[in-house]
Every structure is written in structure tokens, then in C-alpha cells.
């Protein structure tokens, strides 16, 4: 243990302590070191995120152990082991290029095709993503209508409906027409109930919705339509319904039902009520805020001018 302690002390004095004293004398170098470490951590995080869940992840862990053992063997003075591991590490760059060739190629392709935002995990514009999700819902509803497969798809808006989501089976996946169609296949575990799309995610399936009990609702409407009207009255959600009996598509919003609509009409209703309304309101709020700031600034400038005029008038008097 004493030999290990001496080896560690020697390493500490010759390396760590030297660096500490150097950075004490030059704060600018310390800032650059912090930036350097942050960038390295960021790159490691992106790399781990890219390979995690693949077969390459096991190789990454093996390489990490190899690097740690090489470092420890040098500190502890295990010369033979350190020499062997160092010899292996010298070929490490070539091994990494060979092993991680698919991942490196994918990353370079993303950078070369201006997909840097995707490479760094930055999501695409929210309005564009919401439009794409709507198109997927429309495709799924159209396919379900062709086969007269009953469906109930709830699109959450500003009012959150977590209590409804909690009644179903959590999915938390990207929205896809194939998944939506498969969920509503008859006699499958999740077909009975509603699918809820929340925050651009397919949040849950087999959710229970409150039924509308108004006497003025047409008697021929089934349970799905009553559930769609019920949730649209209790929240601002928009609900797409596919009738199992007729295969017709309907939309429920604000407690009313728009029945028997075509694919293009469904698309227009969803985009105008979810995308256009939502993001235009945000833009209007931003514009109002900017206008208010401009008015405040103009008032301050006008006051300064008036103060200057008053001072000049007093001097002249």
C-alpha cells in the first residue's frame, strides 16, 4: 500500500499540482480549460447518445475499461502490463475508425447535409413538427375509415388533460400513422378507448373519456361520438372520430360535432385550429410586447427632448 501511496503522491506532485499552480498564475488559462473540458464533455455526451442501445455500446464500455487500466498501470508502476496496454492503445485510433465506421459516417453525413441541429439533438421547429403530426393523424384516420375501423384520437391543445391520459396505457412514442392504425385494430388490447396526442407525442392509448349527456345530442350517435363531444366540452382538445358503422370521419371541438368530413377538410380544420391559431397567437403576443417596448422607449425619448427644451428655455430666460 505504501508503494501505491508513493506512486500516487509522485503523480500528484509532478502533474496535478503543477497544473494547479500554472492556472493560479494565469486566470485566462483557467477559463480556457473550463471551456475545453465543457466541449469534451459535450462531445462525449453526444457520442454516447448516438451509440447507446446499439451493439457498439458494448465495445465503447470495453474501450473505456482499457483506457482506465492503461492509466492505472502507469500510476501503479506495473511496467509490463502498461507496455502491453500502451501498445494496444497506439492502434486505438485505427480500431475506433474501423469499429465506429457506421456512426462516424452517419455523423459526417448529417454535418455535410446541414443537419447540424439534428446532430446536436435540437428539435425541429415546433410548428413544422405539429403540422407533420397532423398529417400523420389524417393519414391514419383515412386508412381507418376505408376499413370501417372505429377510432377516437384526442389532440391536446392548451388545456392539459393528464387526468385523461392517466386512465389509459402509457405509450410515449412519436406519432406515426402505422401505430395509430394498429392500435385500433379490433379485438386487440388497446383498441377500446381513445388515443391521446400530447406535446407532439402519442402519450397513451385505451384512455377513458367523459360522455356527453346533453339531451340535444342526436340519438343515433354512438359512444365514441358522445365521448368525443364530452372531452371537447370539458377541455379545448380537438377529437377525430372514425365511425365503426359507417366509416365516416367526424371532428369534435368546443362541444360541437362536425360530421362526415373529407380528408382535405379534416386537414384544414386541424391545421387552422391547432397550428395557425396556436402559433399566430404567440406571434401576436410577441408583436404586442415589442410594440409596448417601442412605445415606452419613444415616450422616454420624447420626455428627454421636452426636458432639454425646458432647460434651454430657462437659460434663454
The ranges assigned to domains in the chain are 2-119, 126-272
State how far the Cα of 85 lies from the Cα of 63, in Å rounded to an integer. 11
- pLDDT tens-place string over residues 67-121: 888 888 887 878 888 888 777 777 766 766 676 666 666 666 555 544 444 444 4
- When pLDDT is averaged across residues 209-235 and rounded to a whole number, the result is 82
State how far the Cα of 211 lies from the Cα of 314, in Å rounded to an integer. 76
Range with the poorest average pLDDT among 39-48, 104-113, 213-222, 292-301: 292-301
Is the overall model pTM greater than 0.75, yes or no? Answer: no
Q: Give me the sign of the Cα torsion angle 302, 308, 311, 313.
A: negative
- pLDDT tens-place string over residues 123-161: 447 888 889 999 999 999 999 999 999 999 999 998 889
CATH superfamily of 126-272: DNA integrity scanning protein, DisA, N-terminal domain (3.40.1700.10)
H helices of the chain, in order, are 2-11, 17-25, 27-51, 56-76, 79-90, 92-99, 101-112, 116-119, 126-146, 162-165, 177-183, 223-234, 263-270, 277-316
State how far the Cα of 199 lies from the Cα of 288, in Å rounded to an integer. 26
Contact 153, 141 (CB under 8 A): yes
Amino acid at each position: 500500500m505504501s508503494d501505491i501511496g508513493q506512486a500516487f503522491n509522485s503523480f500528484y506532485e509532478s502533474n496535478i499540482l503543477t497544473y494547479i499552480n500554472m492556472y493560479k498564475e494565469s486566470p485566462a488559462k483557467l477559463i480556457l480549460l473550463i471551456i475545453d473540458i465543457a466541449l469534451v464533455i459535450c462531445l462525449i455526451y453526444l457520442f454516447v447518445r448516438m451509440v447507446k442501445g446499439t451493439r457498439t455500446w458494448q465495445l465503447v464500455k470495453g474501450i473505456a475499461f482499457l483506457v482506465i487500466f492503461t492509466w492505472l498501470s502507469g500510476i501503479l508502476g506495473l511496467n509490463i502490463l502498461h507496455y502491453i496496454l500502451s501498445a494496444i492503445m497506439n492502434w486505438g485510433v485505427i480500431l475506433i475508425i474501423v469499429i465506429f465506421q457506421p456512426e462516424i459516417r452517419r455523423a459526417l453525413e448529417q454535418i455535410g447535409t446541414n443537419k447540424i441541429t439534428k446532430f446536436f439533438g435540437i428539435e425541429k421547429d415546433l410548428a413544422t413538427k405539429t403540422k407533420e403530426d397532423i398529417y400523420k393523424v389524417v393519414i391514419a384516420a383515412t386508412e381507418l375509415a376505408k376499413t370501417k375501423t372505429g377510432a377516437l384520437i384526442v389532440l391536446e391543445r392548451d388545456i392539459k388533460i393528464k387526468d385523461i391520459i392517466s386512465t389509459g396505457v402509457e405509450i410515449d412514442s412519436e406519432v406515426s400513422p402505422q401505430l395509430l392504425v394498429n392500435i385500433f385494430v379490433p379485438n386487440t388490447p388497446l383498441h377500446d378507448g381513445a388515443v391521446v396526442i400530447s406535446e407532439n407525442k402519442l402519450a397513451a392509448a385505451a384512455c377513458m373519456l367523459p360522455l356527453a349527456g346533453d339531451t340535444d345530442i342526436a340519438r343515433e350517435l354512438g359512444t365514441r361520438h358522445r365521448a368525443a363531444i364530452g372531452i371537447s366540452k370539458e377541455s379545448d382538445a380537438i377529437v377525430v372520430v372514425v365511425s365503426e358503422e359507417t366509416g365516416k370521419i367526424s371532428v369534435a371541438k368546443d362541444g360541437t360535432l362536425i360530421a362526415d368530413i373529407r380528408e382535405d377538410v379534416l386537414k384544414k380544420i386541424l391545421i387552422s385550429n391547432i397550428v395557425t391559431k396556436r402559433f399566430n397567437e404567440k406571434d401576436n403576443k410577441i408583436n404586442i410586447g415589442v410594440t409596448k417596448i417601442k412605445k415606452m422607449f419613444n415616450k422616454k425619448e420624447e420626455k428627454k427632448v421636452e426636458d432639454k427644451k425646458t432647460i434651454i428655455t430657462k437659460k434663454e430666460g
